[in-house]
Chains A and B, each alone.
Chain A
């Protein structure tokens, strides 16, 4: 074996793998195992029930909407934090992490209070006929709130490292600001944006605490999949709960695979040849 500068690789590797096994793989395996204890027919019946389908629909659509919103808002937030110096910039920068630090239930209660028809935002909005709390719109708000740091924090460091000379080079070559942004900056941010988007989307799919307060949780309209799994759990119907959860697991897995492939494609220029 080649000599290494740092000792203890086999030990470190062993411990790491055991931890990954216990913390990540084992619970997921238990979930799949539990779901598999149902026969194929029962499994299919549970995951394809109308109520379950309605929950997939609202969860995925709201997560998509929240992620698209975060993509634009998160990118512009990161842009402003990196490119401009203004009083309070550090404060705004610190606030970005707040959704991570805040217990999601607190976020949910706060958002509900704000967006209820008698709340600060909900009041004025209801006057123009927009209802947020207890509608899918509320779910989107809660999802965006809890997942926006993913986009900001993945894009920000890449944006900071971007060589200003690249934009200057674009200018000297006669490119407009728009074409510099579209053909130089955006492609270089794409891998980070994809990473941020996939994390944000995955988090939105799985978000529970913040949503159940604001969503109203009406089956077939504002009931998210995580809540449905939770309801089954409370009914002591563990296999059904696991079956529904396994659908979420599969969705998250497929989604992460797709974004990883897209990322590899966007980064192909870094391959050494």
Chain B
């Protein structure tokens, strides 16, 4: 099912949560809504589900205007951050719930068969008669997914689905969700504030800030060509140096960087800690090492440029230099932006 958001607006009392968001999601796509808290990502997801009503704009499911269709008739599967399993029902009863209350009457045998099928799909075959309180967080989230899938939704919506789980379980579930998505081919939107999760899982990432879309594209596109400093910072560790932009060049301490298309005036260059080479002599921005931090697979160096701006970069574990040494930093793949 193709989904289209057309200039959707949502205001809570005085706070405007979503400012005119337009978005097209292709049938069968797996899309991540990525943003910090308060960016409106969950509100957008809830509007697609029908759990919130849009104050303006429209939401289309295929060619049908779904804006005013109540949630229970919208045919979405929703997975909540804290699972929202019915605690007094067994795993099997939770999964069967949607089928039991459905207008489409199914026989008890048909429901039982479908429950079994879904339990196999989420690899929880033996847990049918357990209560949610008796299984682990990761298992609960898989039950929640099975329950959402049981009603054959047109769209699957997941709100921070792995937010409450620990790191290892998260990674496993993420890969597993991707596999299920590829098997079923259902249009899926999920919300996360974890960029790693979004990049790992999604076909396309939509990055939001303060209720607006700041960039959308494949993980590759958003990683390689961040649209602005916010995206660059949000996607991962980034260094920021103030720069002067003159005639398509950005100058930091007299070192020039390519900056075609950026207006003259105040600017900034951003770069990843992995994109720095330390040189004892030669070309680069003069800097002094303040501290060296050891990590299992690298050394993180904290340095200060000649003009007093902090820089962090990663080097090989064999990096021989120490606190107090002077040298030059050579930056690869810098991104230049005008100061907002």
Contacts and interface: CB of A to CB of B under 8 A. Distances in A.
Nearest to B147: A173
Contact of A166 (B73, B86, B98, B148): B86
A32 B241 CA distance: 87
Interface stretch (B117-125, B130-138, B164-172, B295-303): B130-138
A54 B118 CA distance: 60
Nearest to A186: B88
B175 to A, nearest CB: 25
Range of interface residues on chain B?
Answer: 20 to 34
* Residue among A170, A269, A271, A272 having the largest count of chain B Cβ atoms under 10 Å: A269
9 contacts: A165-B82, A169-B78, A169-B84, A169-B85, A172-B76, A173-B151, A174-B98, A174-B103, A270-B131
A175 B85 CA distance: 14
Contact of B101 (A174, A188, A269): A174
A47 to B, nearest CB: 41
A271 B102 CA distance: 30
Contacts of B281: none
Interface string A240-273: 0000000000000000000000000000011111
Interface string B21-54: 0000000000000000000000000000111000
Interface string A150-176: 000000000000010110111111111
B256 interface: no
Interface of B: 49-51, 71-74, 76-78, 80, 82, 84-89, 97-98, 101-103, 130-131, 133-134, 147-148, 150-151
A103 to B, nearest CB: 40
Interface in A175-201: 175-176, 179, 183-184, 187-188
A165 B88 contact: no
A183 B97 contact: yes
Contacts of A170: 97, 101
B61 to A, nearest CB: 14
- 5 closest A-B pairs by beta carbon, nearest first, are A173-B98, A165-B84, A172-B78, A175-B101, A169-B84
A269 B71 CA distance: 29
Contacts of A172: 49-51, 71-72, 74, 76-78, 148
Nearest to B80: A165
Nearest to A168: B51
Given A172-B76, A172-B77, A175-B72, 4 more contacts: A173-B101, A174-B73, A270-B133, A272-B133
Given A172-B148, A173-B147, A179-B101, A163 B86 contact: no
B148 A188 contact: no
B86 A272 contact: no
Given A168-B80, A188-B88, A269-B88, A176 B72 contact: yes
Contacts of A184: 86
A188 B82 contact: no
Contacts of B76: 172
A188 B131 CA distance: 14
Contacts of B147: 169, 173
A171 B72 CA distance: 5
Contacts of A270: 87, 131, 133
Contacts of B101: 170, 173-176, 179, 183
Contact of A269 (B50, B80, B97, B133): B133
B80 A169 contact: yes
Contacts of A169: 78, 80, 84-86, 147
A171 B51 CA distance: 9
Contacts of B150: 173
Contacts of A273: 130-131, 134
Contacts of B78: 168-169, 172
Nearest to A175: B101
Interface string A13-51: 000000000000000000000000000000000000000
Interface in A122-167: 163, 165-166
B131 A269 contact: yes
A233 B110 CA distance: 67
Given A163-B82, A176-B101, A272-B133, A171 B71 contact: yes
Nearest to A188: B88
Contacts of B72: 171-176
A179 B98 CA distance: 11
A272 B98 CA distance: 26
A170 B89 CA distance: 13
A173 B97 contact: yes
A22 B71 CA distance: 59
A171 B80 CA distance: 13
Nearest to B51: A168
A165 B150 CA distance: 18
Given A166-B86, A168-B78, A174 B102 contact: yes
Contacts of B133: 269-272
Nearest to B87: A269
Nearest to B93: A183
A173 B151 CA distance: 7
A4 to B, nearest CB: 28
A165 to B, nearest CB: 4
